[in-house]
Structure 1
Amino acid sequence: MPGTIRGVEDFEAEKTAECLRDSMKGMGTNEKQIIVILADHSNAQRQEIAEIYKQAYGKKLIDDLKSELSGDFEDVCLAMLDPPRLYDAKQLHKAISGAGTDEKTLIEIMCTRSNDEIEEIKKRYKEEYDSNLEDDLTGDTSGYFRRLMVSLCTSGRDSSEEVDQEKAEQDAVRFYEAGEGRWGTDEAELNAVLCLRSLPHLLATIAKYEELTGKPMVESVKDECSGSLQEGYLSILESALNTPKYFAKRAKKSMKGIGTNDNDLIRIMVSRSEVDLQDIKEAYLELYETSLTEAVSDECSGDYKRMLCCIIDPYQG
């Protein structure tokens, strides 16, 4: 699954750091140059640029950008300078700190990252906040949604690529008997199937479930669960079925209604830029009959819009 940002082939960290310095030196800021550099280079290249910048000029690149930029444009530029899992950790912390909890952000990150990614997020979270992610999630959530977050935080999903079709059928029956096939819902059983099984096994179970019941598993989850728990279970299923389509829908939701949820939009664009943003673009066009670039252009403005559009369609200089 290709991303849109693949990095610069003839990469020169020192020269690029100098260009960034020039773009912020003296009167005014060359925002266009900042946009081109950040959107063209991969995250790994940006880490090298930031290190060289600090060595050369005795200041952190991120601090100079903070002093020169503002608003959503500043936010997206700073997001691009964080290593991916540190950025995830910061987003999770933001979602559970302050008044209220942003369950949608917790769901998006925790339900779509791999075991290894979850482990690195926990490490980064501990280093950044001197606190355990699981403890903070437990303290800020409740009920079966809390159980879902704790289960995902253990990074215990089976990573095998092999599928036992008989076991997949057993899990489909187990899922039915915990939901549609009983009075009330046994959320713990649903949780076990969705959080422990490998993605190939989960796909087989989804297919077996529809064969056995004549009903998609996602529809059963909608009928049997509600609120954040329902959203979490649906995110696991929908991202397993079609990850680009899942994120295309998330991008659409961030731009729907009055105002734009810029934090969500930035996170999706930045976090998927080197993973599957090219496929997300195609899924978005198929779902909504308009390009992701056009949608962003309609909702955003100024340098912020230009940066997001360059992430979606980099110059590849």
Structure 2
Amino acid sequence: MPGTIYGKSDFEADKAAEQLRNSMKGLGTDEEIIVAILADHSNEQRQEIATTYKQAYGKDLIDDLKDELGGDFEEVCLAMMATPRVFDARQINKAISGAGTDESTIVEIMCTRSNEEIEEIKQAYKEEFENELEEDLVGDTSGYFQRLMVSLCAGGRETSEWADEEKAAEDAKKFYEAGEERWGTDEAEMNAVLCLRSRVQLLETIKLFEQMTEKTMEESVEDECSGNLKKGYLAILRCAKSMPHYFARRVKECLEGLGTEDNDLIRIIVSRSEIDLQDVKEAFEEMYEKSLLDSVSDECSGDYKRMLCSIINPYQTQY
């Protein structure tokens, strides 16, 4: 699945570091150069630029960006300078810090990362915050949503690349009996199906469930679950069906209503930029009959808009 940022083939870390230094030297800042360089290099190349910057100028590039920039433009630049799993860990910590919990962010990250990525997030979280990710999630959640988080934190999803039809039929029956067929809902059984099976296996279960019940598993979750647990289960099912469509829906949620959910928008655009943002763009246009580029451009402004649009479409210049 293609991203939109691939990095420069003629990469020169020292040249990029020098350009960034010059853009922030003296009076004023040349934000256009910062946009051009950060959006034109892969995350791995940005890490090398940061190292070269420190070696050449005896200053930390992140600190200089913080000193020179502000608002959402600063936030998107800092997001681009963090390694992916460190960024995930920081976003989860932000979601559970302070008053209230941002469950949508936690669901998005924990439900869409691979087993290996979950392990890397746990390690990054421990290094950054000197706490165990699972302990902090348990401390900030409750009930069956808490159990869902613990299950996902274990990073034990099956990884087989083909589906076992017999097992899928059993799971579809279990899922039906846990929800539709009983008084009340057996969330533990639903949890086991959704958190343990590979995405390929889940797809087969989704298909057989629909054949058996003439109802989608998403509809069943809508009817049988509520609140954050419902959000989590729906995220797992939607990701199994199509990760790009899941993220297109998340972007739409960020852009709807009064004001823009900028933290979420930044996270999605930056985190998918080297993975599947091209596919997310196509899914967005298919679902909402408007391009992602135009939608973001309508909601954002200034250098912040220029950066997001440069990530979404590196070859577009009019923004």
The bucket for the TM-score relative to the shorter chain is over 0.9
* Equivalent residue, structure 2, for 1:30: 30
* Equivalent residue, structure 1, for 2:258: 258
2: CA distance, partners of 1:191 / 1:287:
29
- Deviation string 1:18-62 (CA, Å, 9 cap, x unpaired) is 110011011111100000100010000000000111111111100
Kept in 1, the 8 Å contact 2:8–2:40? The answer is: yes
2: CA distance, partners of 1:9 / 1:72:
29
* Equivalent residue, structure 2, for 1:243: 243
* Equivalent residue, structure 1, for 2:267: 267
Counterpart residue identity of residue 295, structure 1: S
- Deviation string 1:58-107 (CA, Å, 9 cap, x unpaired) is 11100000000000000000000000000000000000010000000000
Counterpart residue identity of residue 102, structure 2: D
1: CA distance, partners of 2:125 / 2:316:
32
2: CA distance, partners of 1:93 / 1:246:
23
Counterpart residue identity of residue 259, structure 1: G
Shift of 1:315: 3.9
2: CA distance, partners of 1:60 / 1:158:
41
* Equivalent residue, structure 2, for 1:104: 104
2: CA distance, partners of 1:305 / 1:161:
39
- 1:229 and 2:229 correspond: yes
2: CA distance, partners of 1:55 / 1:137:
38
* Equivalent residue, structure 1, for 2:9: 9
Counterpart residue identity of residue 252, structure 2: K
Counterpart residue identity of residue 25, structure 1: K
Kept in 2, the 8 Å contact 1:222–1:230? The answer is: yes
Counterpart residue identity of residue 129, structure 2: Y
Kept in 1, the 8 Å contact 2:310–2:316? The answer is: no
2: CA distance, partners of 1:123 / 1:146:
20
Counterpart residue identity of residue 239, structure 1: C
2: CA distance, partners of 1:9 / 1:310:
18
Kept in 2, the 8 Å contact 1:281–1:291? The answer is: yes
Alignment of 1:111-130 (within 5 A): 111-130=111-130
* Equivalent residue, structure 1, for 2:173: 173
TM-score, length of structure 2 as denominator length: 0.98
Kept in 2, the 8 Å contact 1:7–1:316? The answer is: no
* Equivalent residue, structure 2, for 1:148: 148
- 1:164 and 2:164 correspond: yes
* Equivalent residue, structure 1, for 2:69: 69
Kept in 2, the 8 Å contact 1:172–1:206? The answer is: yes
Kept in 2, the 8 Å contact 1:8–1:316? The answer is: no
1: CA distance, partners of 2:51 / 2:243:
33
What is the root-mean-square deviation of aligned Cα atoms in Å? Answer: 1.0
Shift of 1:160: 1.1
* Equivalent residue, structure 2, for 1:183: 183
Shift of 1:316: 9.6
* Equivalent residue, structure 2, for 1:90: 90
Q: Percent identity?
A: 69
Kept in 1, the 8 Å contact 2:47–2:81? The answer is: yes
1: CA distance, partners of 2:37 / 2:118:
29
Cα pair distance change 1:118/1:307, threshold 3 Å: same
* Equivalent residue, structure 1, for 2:290: 290
1: CA distance, partners of 2:268 / 2:157:
23
Unaligned regions of 5+ residues in structure 2, if any? none
2: CA distance, partners of 1:162 / 1:8:
36
Kept in 2, the 8 Å contact 1:107–1:232? The answer is: yes
Unaligned regions of 5+ residues in structure 1, if any? none
List, as ranges, runs of 4+ consecutive aligned residues in structure 1 with deviation greater than 4 Å. Answer: none
